[in-house]
């Protein structure tokens, strides 16, 4: 890959940075309050107008066609100011990408313009269940054939953007007699479909402006034409899209980590102890240097995974490596930055307290760090040809 950005990639990065600075940063703390959801929805409309809801989607559907590298850059810049906005943009882009990748012409023509334009505030993935998180193949949600339709029954949990998503990508078992993971299909379900209901918003530790809900399906009738791809091939689709989503979440984590270290460095330059700025102390300088080196390594891993995906090459292992390293090191960066501020870092007047809470989930969603290690190890063992 080339280390220099194209003019378009740089423009996307600069636009995201400017939007984050002007629109997100001033209200980031306020978004954790009762007005946070409305602020988020307003931001999503503006981002749609700027082309950020379809960064890797063909222009014929209203997408930007900027590619995966630009997507990663944009998510990082948005996350520097607001992780809630960044995760919503990331997930919605991945919903659009899975529809573009495996959807029929009719599905693409119907849903992609709505996602890209902001007619749908967001899109949502319905994969995780109470008994099927890290083991999605163990899902219990069923889709029973009924003539030209399927009847969906079951529940999904921890669904990002469920309250305001216009379309849900839903995985359900269509052949319970098949080997585990082989009898699962994928469906597009509109938000207003009878039988679909949204549970209360979860009261989360961080990323509070982003809605996370349980989604219930009670004999939810979905036309067979709404199936994504072919019947009983849904698990393969899930695995492929999770790999792409890991680039988004790794990029988000990187953005939060970079913002935390930037704030801490400026604080150290201004705060004095022992008659000199804190930044003069070698111990603190080494902490800055170590975290900056780790975050730069994370950035390079993410760029490699994004470039491989953009080139149509295998990228699953690299995406897991990037997500694992970026999320773990971003957590380290946030807690190091908080430590540098001392007692001030623990107070909500400063953003480190929020950043530490926002970044924590990045080692969990889109596959835990432990799952990433399993994915990486399996790929390495496969290469041994044992």
Convert the pLDDT of each residue in 15-48 to its tens digit: 999 999 999 999 999 999 999 999 999 999 999 9
Q: How far apart are the C-alpha atoms of 57 and 244, rounded to whole Å?
A: 14
In this structure, are 269 and 192 located in the same domain? Answer: no
256 and 334 in contact (C-beta within 8 Å)?
A: yes
| 252 within some domain | yes
Residue with tokens 């600069």: 14
User: Does 207 share its domain with 89?
Assistant: no
Q: Is there a single domain that holds both residue 354 and residue 287?
A: yes
CATH number at 337 reads 1.20.140.10
**Residue 1 predicted with pLDDT over 70:** no
Same domain, 270 and 373: yes
Considering the domain architecture, whether residues 301 and 372 belong to the same structural domain is answered as yes
**pLDDT per residue as tens digits for the range 89-99:** 999 999 999 99
| pLDDT at residue 136, rounded to an integer | 87
Using alpha carbons only, how large is the chain's radius of gyration in Å?
A: 21
Task: Quick: pLDDT tens for 269-316.
Answer: 999 889 999 999 999 999 999 999 999 999 999 999 999 999 999 999
Neighbours of 342 (CB within 10 A): 12
Question: In total, how many domains does the chain have?
Answer: 3
Q: Cβ distance 62 to 136 under 8 Å?
A: no
Residue 105 pLDDT greater than 70, yes or no: yes
In a domain, 367, yes or no: yes
Closest by CA position to 138, among listed 87, 172, 113, 96: 172
Mean pLDDT of the chain: 95
Q: For every residue of 342-386, which 3-state class applies, written as one string?
A: HHHHHCCCCCHHHHHHHHHHHHCCCCCHHHHHHHHHHHHHHHCCC
Q: Is the pLDDT of residue 2 over 80?
A: no
Could you say which of 183, 199, 232 is where a domain stops? 232
Q: Indicate which CATH number applies to the domain containing 131.
A: 2.40.110.10
The verdict on residue 286 lying in a domain is yes
CATH number, domain with residue 14: 1.10.540.10
| Cα–Cα distance, 355 to 216 (Å, whole number) | 31
Which tens digit of pLDDT belongs to each residue from 191-239? 999 999 999 999 999 999 999 999 999 999 999 999 999 999 998 888 8
* More confident call, 86 vs 200: 86
Looking at the structure, tell me whether residues 280 and 334 fall in a common domain. Answer: yes
Q: Are residues 82 and 164 in the same domain?
A: no
Q: Is residue 363 part of a domain?
A: yes
Residues 43, 46, 48, 52, CA torsion sign? negative
Claim to verify: residue 250 and residue 362 sit in the same structural domain: yes
The domain in which residue 161 lies consists of 124-232
Last residue of a domain, one of 104, 120, 136: 120
Question: What is the model's pLDDT at position 259?
Answer: 98
In a domain, 2, yes or no: no
Of 12, 2, 68, 57, nearest in space to 305 by CA: 68
Are 213 and 248 in the same domain? Answer: no
- pLDDT at position 239 is 85
Of 232, 263, 278, the residue that ends a domain is 232
256 and 312 assigned to the same domain = yes
Q: Please check the confidence at residue 386 and state whether its pLDDT lies above 80.
A: no
* pLDDT at residue 150 tops 70: yes
Q: What is the pLDDT of residue 133?
A: 83
pLDDT of residue 272: 84
- The residues annotated with a catalytic role in the active site are 366
Q: Does 379 lie in the same domain as 242?
A: yes
Residues 244 and 292 in one domain: yes
Q: pLDDT tens digit string along 340-355?
A: 999 999 999 999 999 9
Residue 1 maps to a domain: no
- Domain-embedded: residue 175: yes
């Amino acid at each position: 890959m080339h280390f220099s950005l194209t003019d378009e990639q740089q423009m996307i990065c600069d636009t995201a940075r400017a939007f984050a600075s002007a629109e997100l940063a001033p209200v980031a703390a306020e978004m954790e309050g009762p007005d946070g959801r409305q602020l988020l929805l307003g931001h999503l409309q503006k981002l749609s107008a700027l082309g950020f809801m379809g960064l890797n989607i063909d222009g014929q559907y209203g997408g930007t066609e900027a590619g995966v590298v630009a997507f990663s850059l944009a998510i990082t810049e948005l996350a520097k100011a607001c992780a809630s906005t960044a995760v919503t943009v990331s997930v919605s882009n991945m919903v659009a990408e899975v529809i573009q990748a495996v959807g029929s012409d009719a599905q693409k023509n119907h849903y992609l313009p709505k996602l890209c334009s902001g007619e749908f505030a967001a899109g949502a993935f319905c994969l995780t269940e109470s008994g099927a998180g890290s083991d999605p193949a163990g899902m219990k949600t069923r889709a029973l054939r009924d003539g030209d339709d399927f009847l969906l029954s079951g529940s999904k949990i921890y669904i990002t953007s469920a309250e305001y998503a216009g379309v849900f990508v839903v995985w359900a078992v269509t052949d319970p007699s098949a080997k585990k993971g082989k009898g699962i299909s994928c469906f597009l379900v509109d938000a207003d479909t009878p039988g679909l209901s949204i549970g209360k918003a979860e009261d989360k530790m961080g990323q509070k402006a982003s809605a996370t809900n349980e989604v219930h399906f009670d004999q939810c009738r979905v036309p067979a034409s709404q199936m994504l791809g072919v019947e009983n091939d849904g698990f393969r689709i899930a695995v492929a899209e999770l790999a792409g989503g890991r680039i988004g979440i790794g990029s988000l984590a990187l953005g939060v980590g970079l913002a935390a270290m930037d704030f801490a460095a400026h604080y150290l330059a201004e705060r004095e102890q022992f008659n000199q700025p804190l930044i003069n102390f070698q111990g603190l300088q080494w902490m800055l240097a170590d975290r900056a080196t780790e975050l730069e390594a994370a950035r390079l891993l993410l760029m490699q995974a994004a470039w491989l995906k953009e080139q149509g090459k295998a990228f699953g292992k690299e995406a897991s490596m990037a997500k694992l390293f970026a999320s773990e090191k971003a957590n380290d960066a946030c807690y190091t930055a908080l430590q540098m501020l001392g007692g001030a870092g623990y107070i909500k007047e400063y953003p480190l307290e929020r950043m530490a809470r926002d970044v924590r989930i990045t080692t969990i969603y889109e596959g835990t760090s432990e799952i990433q290690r399993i994915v990486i190890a399996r790929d390495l063992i496969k290469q041994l040809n044992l």
